[in-house]
Structures are given as structure tokens and as C-alpha cells.
Chain A
Amino acid sequence: DQQVKQNSPSLSVQEGRISILNCDYTNSMFDYFLWYKKYPAEGPTFLISISSIKDKNEDGRFTVFLNKSAKHLSLHIVPSQPGDSAVYFCAAGDSGTYKYIFGTGTRLKVLA
């Protein structure tokens, strides 16, 4: 049972446009959500997070939106750059246990 789902395995976006990556979760007990970026043959690196008390968190070009009623979060990258091309993982979990479940990832390709 996949508690965290990223239904789009891949996404292509033109440089300068907005990239929107989506993630859905099923467990209403999850209260902390994260996005990681991963290049091939490297470990994931933390991008941005949001706790359930917020619905938006922004860090430079990256914004994460949380819709608790829909159990949905999204990552917006504006403007998209070729260096953003990577696999993006969302993760969700209970901040009290630090056990986060990762989605299957979305491969973003930003076209120059």
C-alpha cells in the first residue's frame, strides 16, 4: 500500500516556465512533508519542507503548497532552469516518529 504517491513519473518543462510537481498521501496522521532532489548516482538532497500547520512555504524559486483536505502537496519551481533537471521525491510522515515515507519520484527535465 503506497501511502505517498507521485503519479507522474516524468515531466518536461521549457526553461523559464513553471514546473509543478505533485504528490498525494493517504495517511491523515502525517504532519510533516518534504521535497528532495536527486541527481543520478548521488544521494538525495533536501529542498524544502512544510509542516501541517502551514499551507505554503517559499524558498527562493521553490514553493511548496499543502492542501490538507485533499491530502495533496505540490512543488512549484519558478522559473525553471536546466540545472533543475533531476528526480524529485516527496516524503511525508509523522514528525514525532521521524519515519518519513517517500514517493516513487518524478523525473523533471527542463529544456533549454
Chain B
Amino acid sequence: SQTIHQWPATLVQPVGSPLSLECTVEGTSNPNLYWYRQAAGRGLQLLFYSVGIGQISSEVPQNLSASRPQDRQFILSSKKLLLSDSGFYLCAWIDRDRSHRHFGAGTRLSVL
């Protein structure tokens, strides 16, 4: 069966520090992978999606970047965090029949 792992679960970082959140998927190959952010009082906003290694599409301009160095690995990064980067970050992959996304457990990021 397929599983998705995200880490860390929580992270507290100072403003201006770098960020690296990792997501890996098991039990599937060549998945479509997604990074979402849930900010306080807001819905799930799509940040990036990837259809393959090295292929990244950005949905909104921001302080973050994404990379896909391996088929089942998706990384969310920032060189310098802003206060507004605080939120709940979710990685997801799409089901084999492409009907719905499976989400990871999320990372709660607090930028202070």
C-alpha cells in the first residue's frame, strides 16, 4: 500500500533562517506530488506541484521554492523565512486513478 511521510511534524524557526521540509512517498512510482499551505483562517492553498523529477510548477509567487531530486521525494525550501511563512504545510500525492489526493500528516511551521 502507498504511504506518504512528512517531517518534521513541528518546526519553530527565527525570521531570516533557512527552511527545508521533506516529503517522501512509498508504494507508488512517478506520482504527481503537491505542496499545500493552510494558513490561519484560510483554506488549503496550492503552492507547488510536480509531475516528475526536476519538474516543478509554482502556483503563487512567494518566498518559497520546491525541488524534486528523486521520483518519490519532494522538498519545500526557503533561503530566508518571513513571519508570513508561518502555517501548516501539507504534502500530497494523487491517487492512481487520479481521483483524489492523499495528504501527509503535515508540518506546523512557526516563524518567530
Interface of A with B (CB < 8 Å)?
Answer: 4, 6, 32, 34, 36, 41-46, 49, 89, 91, 95, 98-105
Least distance between B61 CB and chain A CB atoms (Å): 16
Interface of B with A (CB < 8 Å)?
Answer: 6, 9, 32, 36, 41-46, 49, 90, 92, 94, 98-106, 108
Inter-chain contact A105/B100, CB cutoff 8 Å: no
Inter-chain contact A95/B41, CB cutoff 8 Å: no
Inter-chain contact B49/A99, CB cutoff 8 Å: yes
A102 surroundings in chain B (CB, below 8 A): 36, 43-46
In chain A, what residue has the closest Cβ to B88? A41
Most chain A beta carbons < 10 A, residue from B44, B49, B90, B104: B44
A95–B54 alpha-carbon span in the complex (Å): 24
A43–B106 alpha-carbon span in the complex (Å): 6
Inter-chain contact B106/A98, CB cutoff 8 Å: no
Inter-chain contact B108/A104, CB cutoff 8 Å: no
In chain B, what residue has the closest Cβ to A9? B41
